[in-house]
Amino acid sequence: MNYDESMEYLKGLTKFGINLGLGRIRSLLSRLGHPEEKVEFVHVGGTNGKGSTCAMLASMLQQSGMRVGLFTSPHLHSYTERIRINEKEIKKEEIAELLTMMRSHLDAMVQDGVEHPTEFEVSTALALYYFAREKVDLAVMEVGMGGEIDSTNVILPRLAMITNVGMDHMDYLGSTLEDIARVKSGIIKENRDVITAVDHPRALAIIRERAKEKNAPLWEHGIDFSVEPLSYSHQGQIFNCTVKNTVFPNLKVPLRGRHQLVNAALAVAGAVKLGIGAAAIRKGLALTDWPCRLETVRENPLIVIDAAHNHHGIKVLVDALQQYWPDRKKILLLGMLADKEREKVAAEIAPLVEKAVVTKPNSPRAGAWQQVAEFVRPYVKEIAVEENISHAVDLALTWAGSEDMILITGSIYMVAEARAHLMNGKR
């Protein structure tokens, strides 16, 4: 297969849907020679902030001289973004080569009566095989969904990190915060270090309980590490971070929002736990790049993109909007998947905007996407519903004056397509 054929093949695997469990990927990894046993890992879970935390930690590890793998999902514009070594994306021809090889094993699995792995399981196995083949010193792996029976949980990491716990993916992870915390704490392994920034008492109690069961040394935000904000601008934030009794003064991170300081502190704590020096921590943080997180993609009108795709994320986004752009007239472009708390999201974000365009995320999970408009309508002066994402962006642009702000948020599938439309210089 070439790259395009590989992408079509992967797309075809989405018919197997989201099917949590470790049996299929373990069977596949066995056929691939157990690459997950040949690499050291950091495993990062949580409801929000996983990708940002992974990016910051990987950058710090790289600055220390390590060869660092990074696996994140989903991608924005190209599948190659998911699998990187020292920031360099896997080549398209490497994906084609590896998937061609893996396909024969997948076909053999089915012939042997094993259930076919899902698209995400195949992607995870591909990343693990690639990192082992390329002999990375350490790979940072982002959980796909949940933790305990997510396909990334076949690894035995040196360190597990849990950013936070909020209500998301309730169809799969459970209907209470405690249920979700229990699933996310499943990445905690016997006698392996764990660090968390979870602050909700009930969720934190679950994580403490699991760490105790597993005899896993636990560091907590507010006890073992903390953050002190110093200043912020549109270029980033400066803060002090204390880990145990060591102070890292005047650290800079080029990401906006108070929530990113907590993610940064978690990443710094992880780097300290892994023995990374202060100079690499400082430089790695300052060089972190992670798009679609309060990202400005255009001025006049100001266009900001943020992949806040659930209620927990939207609350954080609202806080940042009030911090950075309290007085701007705002136009909202919103598209959300069906399994999100759409009504709660609308009630959180819509009171801050004057006009809104609701669009359809490019995902089978979009469901009755137009319903979002009914939740937004009571709060805004004007609303439009436009299925085509590019047309929705263009409509928002026609509404915006040069001093206004267009906020594009919701499903990462939607914000990525909107970003591509804007980056391609259309309009």
Tell me what pLDDT residue 170 has. 63
Mean pLDDT for the stretch of residues 190-217: 98
Question: What 3-state class would DSSP assign to 383?
Answer: strand
How many angstroms separate the CA atoms of 110 and 383, rounded? 49
Question: What 3-state class would DSSP assign to 115?
Answer: coil
Burial group, residue 426, by CB count within 10 angstroms (0-12, 13-18, 19+):
exposed
Instruction: Kindly write down the DSSP assignment for every residue of 131-172, as one continuous string.
Output: HHHTT-SEEEEE-SSSSTTSGGGGS--SEEEE----S--HHH
| Average predicted confidence (pLDDT) for the chain | 95
- Beta-sheet strand order (sheet of 246-253): 225-233, 236-243, 246-253
Report CA-CA distances (Å) from 364 to 334, 393, 412, 413. 17, 21, 13, 11
Report CA-CA distances (Å) from 133 to 58, 94, 119, 127, 138. 19, 11, 21, 10, 13
Tell me what pLDDT residue 100 has. 98
Is residue 83 within 8 A of residue 127, CB to CB? The reply is yes
Strand stretches in 159-216, DSSP E: 159-162, 193-196
Strands 193-196, 159-162: parallel, antiparallel or unpaired by DSSP? Answer: parallel
- ∠ CA 358-363-365, nearest 5°, is 90
How many angstroms separate the CA atoms of 397 and 86, rounded? 37
Tell me what pLDDT residue 341 has. 86
Tell me what pLDDT residue 17 has. 73
How many angstroms separate the CA atoms of 361 and 386, rounded? 11
Tell me what pLDDT residue 396 has. 98
How many angstroms separate the CA atoms of 13 and 124, rounded? 13
Cα-flanking dihedrals φ and ψ of residue 124, to 5°? -65, -45
Distance, first Cα to last Cα, the chain: 37
pLDDT digits (tens, 9 = 90+) for 391-413: 999 999 999 999 999 999 999 99
Is residue 400 within 8 A of residue 301, CB to CB? The reply is yes
Tell me what pLDDT residue 426 has. 46
pLDDT digits (tens, 9 = 90+) for 204-252: 999 999 999 999 999 999 999 999 999 999 999 999 999 999 999 999 9
**Which residues, 6+ apart, have CB-to-CB distance to 234 below 8 Å?**
256, 296, 324
Helix-then-strand count for the chain, H and E: 15, 17
Tell me what pLDDT residue 20 has. 79
Is residue 409 within 8 A of residue 358, CB to CB? The reply is no
pLDDT digits (tens, 9 = 90+) for 92-145: 999 999 999 999 999 999 999 999 999 999 999 999 999 999 999 999 999 998
The percent of residues above 90 in pLDDT, for the chain, comes to 90
- Whether 427 has a pLDDT exceeding 60, the answer reads no
Domains of the chain: 3-286 (3.40.1190.10), 295-423 (3.90.190.20)
